[in-house]
Chain A
Amino acid sequence: MAIKVENLSYSYEQPFGEKVGALKNVSFSIKAGDFAGVMGHTGCGKTTLLQLLAGLRLPTGGRVYVNGEEINAKGYDRSGLRQRIGVVFQYPEYQLFATTVEKDVAFGLKHSGLSRQEVIARVQWALETMGFDFAKVRNQSPLALSGGEKRRVAIAGVLARKPEILIFDEPVAGLDPHGRENFLRFVKEMNQAGTTIIMASHNMEALAGYTKHLLVLEEGRLIDSGATREVFLRLQQRNNWAFGQTKAQRIATLLAEGNLALSPAVVTYDDLLSALKRELTGGGKG
């Protein structure tokens, strides 16, 4: 499923007329099957944008099209949209409420028209996809699980609906390195299987290593977008934008300041490692 956004704006009215977290005149498109990242400081409008894409807020200006259809137009099938777009918000683990893991994951399938058997099969698939032993976990209380497990159950609840677009807001915050890598690998597999992914993150390594395209927001405006590698390299040139740099880029920058410019330009850890190997084994240009 493709998404297109035209002149999208949103502003939160505050009691004293102040406007906070606004999105200002944003336009872009995301092709079906893409893995798009959204980058920006806290308060830049990322979460607002994701909510608008999922049809959970009405824009104060502009339009959102999903597969060519405007989702806020009169007569648009919004409940159908909810089935096709899955959103995993920040701290999804706080949204668990049912008495068992199975019931929690099945909740989103209530109005899906699936039979009982189909629902169970879906729930089993979703939980196994998230790395659980279905037989072991199905009757456990979600509250008895660890934080990381709760988050995986919450994501399984979204997956169970088999959405064509998956939207993640800060999915790796608070996860340890293994949890992070496992999660990102799983998202990559979902993407390779055809699901369109949109992921907002503060983790530069996650964005650089996994996304194909990037959207960069600053104070509600889209300040850059394009292929991930190119965007990272452009952000490096903006001297006031210290945010959008990977750890490997920071090291490459320090080396360049001491007259050791690595080539080709470094974005990821692997870029840095192979450039240094060339440079330091005598194969470099010196």
Chain B
Amino acid sequence: MLVEGKNISFSYDGFSLALRDVAIKIEKGEFLVILGANGAGKSTLVKHFNALLPLEQGELRVAQIDLRDEKDIWLLRRLCGMVFQNPDNQFVSSTVEEDIAFGLENYEAPRDEIPERVRAALALVEMGGYEKRAPDTLSGGQKQRVALAGVLALEPEIIIFDEATAMLDPSGRQEVLAIMDKLHKAGKTIIAITHYVEEAVAADKVILMQKGRILACGSPEAILTDLDLMKAAELLPPLPVRLYHDLRQAGVHLKNCPLTNEELVKEIWQLKSKT
């Protein structure tokens, strides 16, 4: 297990609980999506993985490091990189390459290795050629890819996307999702937080959170097609799932509940060919 924790509770104000007795297991190479409404505790949970929030209650081990012990935090932050929501708040330097080099210098990477690691990280996110650009001249999707390159340059075990697509336009979102998919296929462990349910369809595992608790955990099919569960989590199921159920109510029975547009269209054709 790359991440293993139990009985995790957390409060920001010492009064109301943002996390309530959460247990979690994440395997190496897994693509995990954490879904939930605003305030469900998604960010609070993942910020425990790299000690951005202190472990107040419970047990947590990430990449063999015990979070109750604070001495390995620096290593943990490198092993468990994070891309945040706001593409504009993540840069410290005036050019793309300096920004990525900054993180490497912080972690005392050997000087002569830095240029090559910057180059390789930018290539991974398909931003080669943008080395000299100022981050603020990039599009939202490009900024997030550069922020991700900064994380990748440190060779992390786990990459966390904390609503990294929420502020992007649809093409920017597609760019980030495509890179996420590529990293997953290359064997990286990916944790993505989102309330765009469509982004959970390709996950290996989906965790549904609500009011600081884990409401359910399972395959995208099991979670996203369960109307009651989605309602309890205050989320809308993907459009094909909603359509499947709304059509049923009108007496139109598609054979299987589709998750993607392509599956939906196939179901409709199948039914159409019978009538």
Contact = CB atoms under 8 A, between A and B. Distances in A.
B57 interface: no
Contact of A177 (B235, B240, B265): B235
Contacts of B39: 146-148
A90 B169 CA distance: 13
Contact of B169 (A144, A243, A248, A276): A243
Nearest to B39: A146
Contacts of B37: 176-179
A177 B234 contact: yes
Interface of B: 13, 36-39, 85-86, 137, 139-141, 163, 166-172, 195, 234-236, 239-240, 242-243, 246-247, 250-252, 261-262, 264-265, 268-269, 271-272, 275
A248 B261 CA distance: 9
Given A148-B38, A251-B261, A276 B167 contact: no
Nearest to B167: A173
Given A177-B195, A202-B168, A279-B272, 20 more contacts: A14-B137, A41-B139, A42-B141, A42-B172, A90-B167, A173-B167, A174-B167, A176-B36, A176-B234, A177-B236, A202-B169, A242-B171, A251-B239, A255-B265, A260-B272, A273-B243, A276-B252, A280-B247, A280-B252, A286-B275
Nearest to B238: A247
A144 B14 CA distance: 12
Given A42-B169, A280-B268, A248 B239 contact: yes
A177 B237 CA distance: 10
A114 interface: no
Interface residues of A, number: 41
B84 to A, nearest CB: 12
A272 B243 contact: yes
A157 to B, nearest CB: 20
Contacts of A147: 38-39
B176 to A, nearest CB: 13
A254 B239 CA distance: 14
A42 B261 contact: no
B182 to A, nearest CB: 20
A146 B38 contact: yes
Contacts of B240: 251
Given A173-B166, A202-B169, A258 B239 contact: no
Given A243-B171, A276-B252, A250 B261 contact: yes
